[in-house]
Amino acid sequence: MYELFKPWLFRQDPETIHERVMHGLAWLGQRGPGLEPIRLFFSLRDPRLEVTAFGLRFPNPIGLAAGFDKNAAAVRTWAALGFGHVEVGSVTARPQPGNPRPRLFRLPQDQALINRMGFNNEGAEAIARRLERLQQTFGRPPVPLGINLGKSKITPLEEAPQDYLQSLSRLWPYGDYFAINVSSPNTPGLRALQDKERLEELLAALTGFVQGRKPLLLKIAPDLTWEQIDEILGLVEDYRLAGLIATNTTTARTGLQTPIDQAGGLSGRPLRARSLEVLKYLHQQLGGRLPIVSVGGIFSAEDVWERLENGATLVQVYTGLVYEGPLMMKKLCRGLLERMEREGLRSLTELRSTP
């Protein structure tokens, strides 16, 4: 069915369609028991797919990446669609409109997107109030909720720790884990926070607040050198972060079939090879000491399996969902179960990688 609608959808402005979809998903999320038919049709639950990571239990290893639901508008609906976890945001301390439109571009030939959204979101206060209302009405979300935190555009780099802390403290009651986003290419200067001195200052401030009470993860860029990654890994272990998310979008344009000259972060199939390469390197360097959430170019159950057997504990999708549609999660979970049966595995916990 989605394949029938996709040509029409792809003729519309990408951000306009995204906003309409989010509005519909948010409306569904307020329907209470009305979500049950959606869950029955779109999701596949099986205890063999369950995964435990950083002290949390996930019904399956596949989550929604940050950026799709920036304002935590449809948390319950994502769970009904079969996602094993949901990462909302990026959320900034201050509300901000993001970069001027147009700022989202499809590359169908490449099964890719380019975005330069610029952390458009309603801000930590408004999103905290929404999550509070959600909990009061329906209880905690049925799957782990991650909250991805970014820096407000108007905040100088020197004040970044205080900016992130403001968001973290306000959203603290609602997230099951928190992700520090210092790797988006669409906020001027943000990636400078991956430099050792600035990152150490930021991690010191945030881990001082968290004190091990909830998982804190770091999301890194695919465009780092191995030396930069090694520096980051040293800090991640020194400050006892719970895990890494790898990777964000890339500024590279290597191998694109689509002739396009637009700034921003590239996601989708062209990111697959680099994301997998970074995953393998992280797994080799860490030796299984920290969970890795792998993101970038995941479209099929084979893609998910490849990430899991190369060291990922969890994976996340974004662009794949745009191209594959709302039945994507059911297809991925079914594909994983079929692969497990062929491999003779009774659960995903039996799938182990050797660094």
Q: Cβ distance 216 to 242 under 8 Å? A: yes
Give bridge partners of residue 179 from the DSSP assignment: 148, 217
354, part of any domain: no
* Helix boundaries (H) for the chain: 2-9, 14-29, 36-42, 75-80, 124-138, 160-171, 196-210, 226-238, 272-286, 301-309, 319-324, 328-343
CA–CA separation, 59 vs 84, rounded Å?
5
- Spell out a b/e string for 9-40, using b for 16 or more CB atoms within 10 Å of the CB, else e: eeeeebbebbeeebeebbebbbeeeebeebbe
CA–CA separation, 265 vs 325, rounded Å?
21
What's the burial of 200, exposed, middle or buried (CB within 10 Å: 0-12/13-18/19+)?
A: middle
Q: For residue 33, what pLDDT is reported?
A: 82
288: containing domain: 1-347
Q: For residue 352, what pLDDT is reported?
A: 64
Residues making up the annotated binding site for substrate are 70, 115-119, 181, 186, 248-249
147, part of any domain: yes
Residue 184 annotated to the active site: yes
Residues making up the annotated binding site for FMN are 66-70, 90, 148, 181, 219, 247, 268, 297, 318-319
200, part of any domain: yes
**Catalytic member of 184, 267, 275, 294:** 184
CA–CA separation, 354 vs 52, rounded Å?
19
* Domains of the chain: total: 1
Report the candidate in 140, 101, 141 with the shortest Cα–Cα distance to residue 117.
101
249, part of any domain: yes
355, part of any domain: no
Residues making up the annotated binding site are 66-70, 90, 115-119, 148, 181, 186, 219, 247-249, 268, 297, 318-319
Ramachandran class of 140: left when φ > 0, alpha when ψ lies in -120 to 50, beta otherwise: beta
Q: For residue 355, what pLDDT is reported?
A: 46
Q: Quote the pTM value.
A: 0.97
For range 20-25, the mean pLDDT: 97
212 pLDDT tier (thresholds 50, 70, 90): very high
CA–CA separation, 153 vs 141, rounded Å?
30
Q: What CATH number corresponds to the domain at position 290?
A: 3.20.20.70
237, part of any domain: yes
Q: Cβ distance 187 to 225 under 8 Å? A: no
CA–CA separation, 273 vs 277, rounded Å?
6
What's the burial of 298, exposed, middle or buried (CB within 10 Å: 0-12/13-18/19+)?
A: buried
pLDDT, averaged across the chain: 96
353, part of any domain: no
175, part of any domain: yes
For range 261-267, the mean pLDDT: 97
On the question of pLDDT at 15 being above 70, the answer is yes
